[in-house]
Structure 1
Amino acid sequence: MEIPSQTAPSEGHILRRPALQTQVGTALVVPLPPGFKESFFSAGGVPIHYLEGPCNGPPLLLLHGTARDWNSFSVLLPQLSLRFHVFLPDLRGHGASGHVPCAYRVSQFADDICEFVRRVVPPDPALFGHSLGGIVALSIAARCGVSAVIVGDSMISPKNLTSSIYHTIFVQLRDLLVQGGSQEHIAHGIGKFQLQLPGIDELVAIAELPGNTPSVLLEWARSALQTDTDVLTMAVEGSAYDQWRPESILPQISCPVLLLQGNPELDALLTDFDVEAAKRLLACVEHIKFPLLGHALFMQRPDPVLTAITGFLDRHLCKSSAATD
């Protein structure tokens, strides 16, 4: 398959990793899920890699978080692909999609995926975005025709990142990637990241936290190694959110929205304050809080999150279908 060329804007210097600008579609590949195929789509010259599942129902687009890729949703795919026509793009600068230095604003991610929705995905898809993918999904819903949006513990207010452990994680991860190394080396380094957790005086290493097994850290390292370090730099410096204005964007969304919130005391990014703000700004919104889950949500326990997703989509997609009959 021929991959479209891409152009990079000439913006200011940002710290970058040495000799690790991965060519599109070549490195650290994981097997495709059964029944899925992969392809590339050119969004304004940027190659966007995506997976497409079997046509088993209405279209559902899944959008991953920072320094992740389509494979972060792997635990949900066996069930979702039985009931939906699933699409999983890698956002620009992530996975096997193209890198565009200094061009990783939320609005630019949304530009790519809006074009993808208009030209590739069947009409009126539902969107589920985790973390970064959630605010990208909201940005898309304000501009494109979508049937429903599910937001997975996303940071509605950008200022929340600077006070969260993820600001520290992104800084340490960026610096680790700049130094370079194998997947195993990066996984070991991630496990040694020191975090200040609520209610705990001493710093805690990521590898010591429940669920962060060696295989989990290796998968995190795999996706991180395919991420342009500019993505992380723009996130920690705040420029990624320059045009993200929830107070003006959210009122433009007319479709139903489900907010999935983890427990802020367990590293979740979506705060109670932001939930209340979103409820005021959105026309049709539901909210589910998972007190035993952190920011990773379905990566920790897929079953309750899957139940929430399918229940919400069953209610609202059925209503939408009935209204058009």
Structure 2
Amino acid sequence: MCLSQPGYRNPAVRAPRFALCCRTGSTAEVKPMTGEKQFSASGVNLNYVEHGPPSAPPLVMLHGGAWRWQEYLSLIPSLGRRWHTYAVDLRGNGRSGWVPGRYRLADFADDNTEFVERLNAPVVLLGHSIGGVIALMVAARRPDTVKGLVIEDVPLTQESYRNVVDSGRAMFRLWLQLKRAAQSEQDLALALADAYRDCPGVTSAWILFFAGCLWQLDPGFFDNLLDDFEGFCAGYDCKQILSRLACPILFLRGESRLGAVMTDDDIAWLQCHCGNAHCVSIEGVGHLLHLQDQGQTPVLTAMLAFLDRI
């Protein structure tokens, strides 16, 4: 899940330290959703948008949880010069369909494995947070099709994933509380603005963007995650998955003190056991990476340098 910390004054619902504020620039601006398409997969309609030369190799982009494909608005123009990008709304997010009770990692992987298969071409997957977890699972299912991975800040073990979830419970509950109380997207934006008003760096543009994401989110999106973590994570063993993958992989992480999920131990393990993995640490950002990187330069530069070698 994508993480952000509201500066809420009620200590009972104050979000954890690891999930720091989002300093966003153009990425957070709400833009018209044009050219969106629908794809039917695993009994749910998925919303997506594509951009780039029709003959270019496909790059499938998977956003973080509780967000939507517009998370990648700042990256699509640059990545779309060489790649044909497909930015997909996960089930329950954005304009994709709602499937109550079926928001497990395996469900998301089913959807996007089918999406990749329908492209009928070698693909690169780019995933942030839960989107990165899903990308890894899809690659493990279709190693013959996935020729490269860009993974932004994912937990490498179920234990670290559980720690992230447990630390974020109050925050997720707060999001849902505000969503259920709001009568409109505008009401939700006002409530978020109040909840985040003591959090430095949160802009009005980001508030509007996240309000739109949260307004479209299925309220049951977090049920599997919070109430049945073992079932939610079934099938995800990152280290086992990596042992089966031969394609080049770029791992991006921010600073732990700013909320990054990946640890120094994770990076050390990757460098020791995963010869096809390249790890890049980005200074000045936390878990949100390209959403916190106002100029998008360090994150985008690392992505482009990696993709140019594929």
Please list every run of 5 or more consecutive structure 1 residues that lacks an aligned counterpart in the other structure: 1-28, 194-205, 318-325
Paired residue for 2:304? 310
Task: Give a deviation string over 1:72-118, Cα, whole Å, max 9, x none.
Answer: 11111121112210001111111111111111111110111010111
State the Cα distance separating 1:39 from its structure 2 match: 1.3
- Give the Cα–Cα distance (whole angstroms) in 1 for the partners of residues 190 and 161 of structure 2: 24
Asked if structure 1 preserves the Cα contact closer than 8 Å seen for 2:103 and 2:224, the reply is yes
Asked if structure 2 preserves the Cα contact closer than 8 Å seen for 1:170 and 1:236, the reply is no
Task: Give a deviation string over 1:260-309, Cα, whole Å, max 9, x none.
Answer: 00111101122223333444553510000112111111112211111000
Paired residue for 2:137? 139
Paired residue for 1:262? 254
Indicate whether 1:64 and 2:63 are aligned. Answer: yes
Asked if structure 2 preserves the Cα contact closer than 8 Å seen for 1:131 and 1:153, the reply is yes
Paired residue for 2:176? 174
RMSD: 2.1
Tell me the amino acid that sits aligned with residue 150 of structure 1: V
Tell me the amino acid that sits aligned with residue 141 of structure 1: A
Q: 1:162 to 1:139 in 2, by over 3 A?
A: closer
Indicate whether 1:189 and 2:183 are aligned. Answer: no
Bigger relative contact order (CA 8 A; separation at least 6): 2
Paired residue for 1:16? none
- Give the Cα–Cα distance (whole angstroms) in 2 for the partners of residues 191 and 300 of structure 1: 18
Q: 1:189 to 1:100 in 2, by over 3 A?
A: same
Asked if structure 2 preserves the Cα contact closer than 8 Å seen for 1:263 and 1:292, the reply is yes
- Give the Cα–Cα distance (whole angstroms) in 2 for the partners of residues 84 and 160 of structure 1: 33
State the Cα distance separating 1:176 from its structure 2 match: 2.2
Paired residue for 1:153? 153
May I ask how many residue pairs the two structures share in their alignment? 272
State the Cα distance separating 1:162 from its structure 2 match: 4.9
Asked if structure 1 preserves the Cα contact closer than 8 Å seen for 2:189 and 2:211, the reply is yes
Q: State the TM-score, normalized to the length of structure 2.
A: 0.81
Indicate whether 1:286 and 2:286 are aligned. Answer: no
Aligned to 2:221, the other structure's residue is in SS state helix
Paired residue for 1:216? 206
Q: State the TM-score, normalized to the length of structure 1.
A: 0.77
Asked if structure 1 preserves the Cα contact closer than 8 Å seen for 2:158 and 2:237, the reply is no
- Give the Cα–Cα distance (whole angstroms) in 1 for the partners of residues 72 and 198 of structure 2: 24
Asked if structure 1 preserves the Cα contact closer than 8 Å seen for 2:157 and 2:239, the reply is no
- Give the Cα–Cα distance (whole angstroms) in 2 for the partners of residues 235 and 270 of structure 1: 19
Aligned to 1:136, the other structure's residue is in SS state helix
Q: 1:146 to 1:261 in 2, by over 3 A?
A: same
Tell me the amino acid that sits aligned with residue 311 of structure 1: A
Q: 1:100 to 1:281 in 2, by over 3 A?
A: farther
- Give the Cα–Cα distance (whole angstroms) in 2 for the partners of residues 160 and 172 of structure 1: 22
Asked if structure 2 preserves the Cα contact closer than 8 Å seen for 1:59 and 1:85, the reply is yes
Asked if structure 1 preserves the Cα contact closer than 8 Å seen for 2:52 and 2:82, the reply is no
Asked if structure 2 preserves the Cα contact closer than 8 Å seen for 1:125 and 1:147, the reply is yes
- Give the Cα–Cα distance (whole angstroms) in 1 for the partners of residues 191 and 261 of structure 2: 23
Task: Give a deviation string over 1:148-197, Cα, whole Å, max 9, x none.
Answer: 1011112233433554454432221123223343223323333454xxxx
Indicate the percent of aligned positions where both proteins have the same amino acid: 33
- Give the Cα–Cα distance (whole angstroms) in 2 for the partners of residues 111 and 236 of structure 1: 21
Paired residue for 1:14? none
Q: 1:111 to 1:176 in 2, by over 3 A?
A: same
1:267-278 alignment to 2 at 5 Å? 267-278=259-270
Paired residue for 1:46? 44
- Give the Cα–Cα distance (whole angstroms) in 1 for the partners of residues 246 and 46 of structure 2: 27
Task: Give a deviation string over 1:191-220, Cα, whole Å, max 9, x none.
Answer: 454xxxxxxxxxxxx433343111201111
